[in-house]
Amino acid sequence: MSSSEVAALPADTLDEAPAQSANDRWAAGASYAWLVLGLLALTNVLSFMDRYLINIVAQPIKEDMGLTDAQVGLLTGFATTLSYSVVGLPLARLAERVNRVWIIAGSVTVWSIMTAVSGRAANFVQLLLYRAGVGVGEAGAGPASQSLIADYFPPDRRGTAFAIFSAAIPVGALIGAVTGGWIIDNWSWREAFVYLGWPGVIVAAIFALLVKETPRGTFDERQTDAAPPLLAVMRRLVRDPVSRHLVLGYTGVLLVTLAAGTFFAPFLARKFAINYTTIGLVISLTTLGGGIVGNLLGGVLADRLSRRDRRWVAWVPAIGLSISVPFYFASYLQPTVFLTAAVMLFPAIIAMVFMAPTLSALHARTDPRSRSTMIALVGLFASLFGGGLGPFLGGTVIDLLSEYFYAGSFALDCMAGSTAPSAAADTSCADALLQGTTLMLLGTAPLLLWPAAHYFRAARHMKQVPA
């Protein structure tokens, strides 16, 4: 089958289930497949441990370097997405042709070293460049990892497999939050980068030694002998209405949740008189712990329900996101850190059911030789307009609102930032900063209805038949 024929396949033919023998073939090597998935999940843990650490150290860095919240947003967002946009697609195209295991191992090594050296940055520009280096490593690992999972698991098991892989995201963030907060309180934000960066180099070596490359399309009936051209893969994503709305929904969730998530730790520091170890524990037990449950729940629900009706892979995220809105809104208004954490736990679970069903559905609608490229394209779009734009916009909104609520010039009088009202040199600076942060977070909650609408529209374009 030629690449042009793949691009022209009717959308619904890509939803069809593969032959039953796929599960029989998988069962013969199931133990090793689970081992590979476990190691891939471990690399994903390290990725998001290193990535989320910047959120925990954001307030100390802001104070140490005298940054604005917009600059903090650049560090957490665009620093990684800009490098992703430069190298992501070339590395994904390479992963369609060469050994994916070596690409993943090399990528883990790169982002781990870049994380470690971030702790030695002398100024904002250096730290921005080091964070860009982290993005280079992550750009290579993500598409190749998902492509490998799709070749180790048959279609009706991919939802669970991607749920486990995706659950590594909040697990890694949890470790980064708790460990990073403790290191900050006992040493400094610089040591947090150093100590959490270097373990990845060891894991990369273990991964390269234990994991084997597997033939592409092992459990798929439709596949090409060579990787389709980049434009063919792009046309497929744009012209297929299901894929298009899944990507828009996925991007919308990242835009909203990363804008809020980047400044949730600073919000806790600015509102409550608590140390960074406590902040790490609060985040780990709520947004991150809930994310682990939500990711696993989303994958299992999508796998089971889609056997009756394939539209559930889109309905599960749509319903979860819609229900989460009022709970997110209420959590930011609680008077104590305990109540904030208690209310936040529920939306953190139900909103995070979106990821595994989205990935499973996109892989099901993509030729095996196009999957790394597809994920790179989706990741590029979602990173630029979600992961990159979200934190920057969130920080910019906080800066503008803080200036509005401050009687004088917030930029001139409060550039060093305030950690909490009790520790602020000028309480009016702290009050304005807290009001701006709170209003920004409150404004993000109802925006989740936008990606939910895209998931509902994706379901409308699917047939009412089993997956």
360 in a structural domain: yes
> How much of the chain, in percent, has pLDDT values that exceed 70?
84
Token pair, residue 432, equals 């304005």
Of residues 444 and 371, more confidently modeled: 444
Domain count, the chain: 1
Tens-digit pLDDT profile for residues 184-236? 888 888 888 888 888 889 999 999 999 888 776 666 555 555 667 778 778 88
Q: Is the pLDDT at 17 greater than 80, yes or no?
A: no
Of residues 126 and 4, more confidently modeled: 126
The two most distant CA atoms of the chain are separated, in Å, by 71
pLDDT at 18: 43
Instruction: Provide the pLDDT confidence category of residue 77 given band limits of 50, 70 and 90.
Output: low
The closest alpha carbon to 441, from 351, 328, 354, belongs to 328
Q: Is the pLDDT at 131 greater than 50, yes or no?
A: yes
pLDDT at 9: 38
pLDDT at 321: 93
End-to-end CA distance of the chain: 23
pLDDT at 442: 94
Token pair, residue 10, equals 């009717």
Q: Is the pLDDT at 455 greater than 60, yes or no?
A: yes
Tens-digit pLDDT profile for residues 266-285? 899 888 878 877 887 888 77
Three-state SS annotation for the chain: CCHHHHHCCCHHHHHCCCCCHHHHHHHHCHHHHHHHHHHHHHHHHHHHHHHHHHHHCHHHHHHHHCCCHHHHHHHHHHHHHHHHHHHHHHHHHHHCCCCHHHHHHHHHHHHHHHHHHHCCCCCHHHHHHHHHHHHHHHHHHHHHHHHHHHHHCCHHHHHHHHHHHHHHHHHHHHHHHHHHHHHHHHCCHHHHHHHHHCHHHHHHHHHHHHCCCCCCCCCCCCCCCCCCCHHHHHHHHHHCHHHHHHHHHHHHHHHHHHHHHHCHHHHHHHHCCCCHHHHHHHHHHHHHHHHHHHHHHHHHHHHHHCCCCCCHHHHHHHHHHHHHHHHHHHHCCCCCHHHHHHHHHHHHHHHHHHHHHHHHHHHHCCCHHHHHHHHHHHHHHHHHHHHHHHHHHHHHHHHHHHHHHCCCCHHHHCCCCCCCHHHCCCHHHHHHHHHHHHHHHHHHHHHHHHHHHHHHHHHHCCCCCCC
173 in a structural domain: yes
d(CA 196, CA 200): 8
190 in a structural domain: yes
108 in a structural domain: yes
Tens-digit pLDDT profile for residues 139-163? 778 778 888 887 788 776 777 787 7
3 in a structural domain: no
- State the average pLDDT over residues 384-406: 83
19 in a structural domain: no
- State the average pLDDT over residues 41-69: 81
- State the average pLDDT over residues 348-356: 84
- Residue 235's domain comprises 27-216+229-460
Of residues 214 and 1, more confidently modeled: 214
Q: Is the pLDDT at 393 greater than 70, yes or no?
A: yes
Spatial CB neighbours of 247, under 8 Å, sequence gap ≥ 6: 237, 362, 378, 381, 382
Spatial CB neighbours of 208, under 8 Å, sequence gap ≥ 6: 101, 102, 105
pLDDT at 331: 92
172 in a structural domain: yes
Give the Cβ contact number of residue 63 at 10 Å: 15
pLDDT at 410: 79
Quick one: how far is CA 226 from the chain centroid?
30
Instruction: Provide the pLDDT confidence category of residue 25 given band limits of 50, 70 and 90.
Output: low
The closest alpha carbon to 247, from 99, 111, 117, 377, belongs to 377
pLDDT at 14: 40
Of residues 426 and 448, more confidently modeled: 448
Helices 312-331 and 355-364: angle between axes, nearest 10 degrees: 160
CATH number of the domain within which 277 lies: 1.20.1250.20
Give yes or no for a contact between 43 and 108, defined as CB atoms under 8 angstroms apart: yes
Give the Cβ contact number of residue 93 at 10 Å: 18
- State the average pLDDT over residues 433-452: 92
pLDDT at 356: 79
Q: Is the pLDDT at 421 greater than 60, yes or no?
A: no
Pick from 27-36, 311-320, 326-335: least confident: 27-36
d(CA 134, CA 112): 7
Kindly report the backbone phi and psi dihedral angles of residue 13, in degrees, each rounded to the nearest multiple of 5, phi listed first. Answer: -70, -25
User: CB pairs under 8 A, 24+ apart, for 331-340?
Assistant: 332/267, 332/438, 332/441, 332/442, 332/445, 333/438, 333/442, 336/272, 337/268, 337/271, 337/272, 337/274, 337/278, 337/282, 340/268, 340/282, 340/286
pLDDT at 84: 66
21 in a structural domain: no
pLDDT at 172: 82
Q: Is the pLDDT at 413 greater than 80, yes or no?
A: no
Instruction: Provide the pLDDT confidence category of residue 3 given band limits of 50, 70 and 90.
Output: very low
pLDDT at 11: 41
Instruction: Provide the pLDDT confidence category of residue 82 given band limits of 50, 70 and 90.
Output: low
